[in-house]
């Protein structure tokens, strides 16, 4: 997922840089900002889905780490009921 998100961002940056170097776009902040906005809207659906999947997997990883840590802590605690 992160590879997909990074590759989309890099490809968009390369396309914009090529347009600037080719003289298709004037070198000012407004025109470059417009190109960045247009590029982000063209990939919006696929990047939104990839971002949501990445966030869900990240949250699952956090919950699993917490669960594993609690299980290890319980295994280390002495058994006070048998005393």
Tens of pLDDT, residues 30-64: 888 888 888 777 767 777 888 898 999 999 999 99
Is 0.85 surpassed by the pTM of this model? no
User: What are the C-alpha distances in Å from 17 to residues 11, 41, 46?
Assistant: 10, 18, 22
User: Does residue 32 sit within a domain?
Assistant: yes
User: Does residue 80 sit within a domain?
Assistant: no
User: Does residue 60 sit within a domain?
Assistant: yes
**Count of domains forming the chain:** 1
For residue 81, name the pLDDT band (cuts at 50, 70, 90). Answer: low
Tell me which residue of 37, 45, 59 sits closest to 4, measured CA to CA: 45
CB 54 within 8 A of CB 61: no
Domain that holds residue 51: 2-75
CB 47 within 8 A of CB 5: yes
User: Does residue 81 sit within a domain?
Assistant: no
CB 23 within 8 A of CB 72: no
User: Does residue 53 sit within a domain?
Assistant: yes
User: Does residue 83 sit within a domain?
Assistant: no
User: Does residue 69 sit within a domain?
Assistant: yes
């Amino acid at each position: 997922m992160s590879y997909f998100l990074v590759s989309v961002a890099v490809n968009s940056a390369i396309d914009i840089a090529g347009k600037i170097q080719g003289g298709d776009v004037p070198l000012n902040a407004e025109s470059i900002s417009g190109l960045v906005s247009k590029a982000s809207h063209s990939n919006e659906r696929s990047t939104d889905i990839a971002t949501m999947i990445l966030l869900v997997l990240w949250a699952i990883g956090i919950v699993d780490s917490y669960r594993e840590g609690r299980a290890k802590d319980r295994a280390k605690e002495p058994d006070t009921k048998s005393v």
